[in-house]
Amino acid sequence: MTYTVNKSEEEWRELLTPFEFSVLREAATERPGTGALLDEFRPGKYSCRACGAHLFDADTKFESHCGWPSFFKAGDAAVELIDDYTHGMVRTEVRCANCGSHLGHVFNDAPQTPTGQRYCMNSASLTFTPDPR
């Protein structure tokens, strides 16, 4: 896929902290229950930490009790889904459609949501902007 934002790995290293780089560019995962955005439920929007592209609206976030921020729907054309067979598992990786950064994984195990999906995202992959009051 051709991304709108194309940077070298060195440019990404200069923009991101070492931990953010490991998650966004090397597909690492933060430990469950440790993400800064896990308990954030104010109105607003979630964007890609690497490039700033809008990914999720806060009204699609729900408490899934999985240890990571969870959403039932991504913005239109905001993410790219890729088959992931790493670590002996079969999953669907979620990447930012704008820059290709790793965000997390999506699972079809949330019957309590309108879509049945659980976008399980790393807080390190996201920024949150609250709605102005």
**Active-site residue numbers?**
120
Cα angle 14, 45, 82 (rounded to 5 degrees) comes to: 65
**Residue 49 tokens, joined:** 């930490």
> What is the number of residues in the chain?
133
Q: Which of 90, 115, 119 is nearest to 103 (CA)?
A: 119
Extended beta strands in 9-117, E state: 44-48, 54-57, 61-62, 70-71, 79-84, 91-96, 102-107
**Residue 27 tokens, joined:** 């597909």
In which region does residue 82 sit, left (phi positive, over 0), alpha (psi from -120 to 50) or beta (all else)?
A: beta
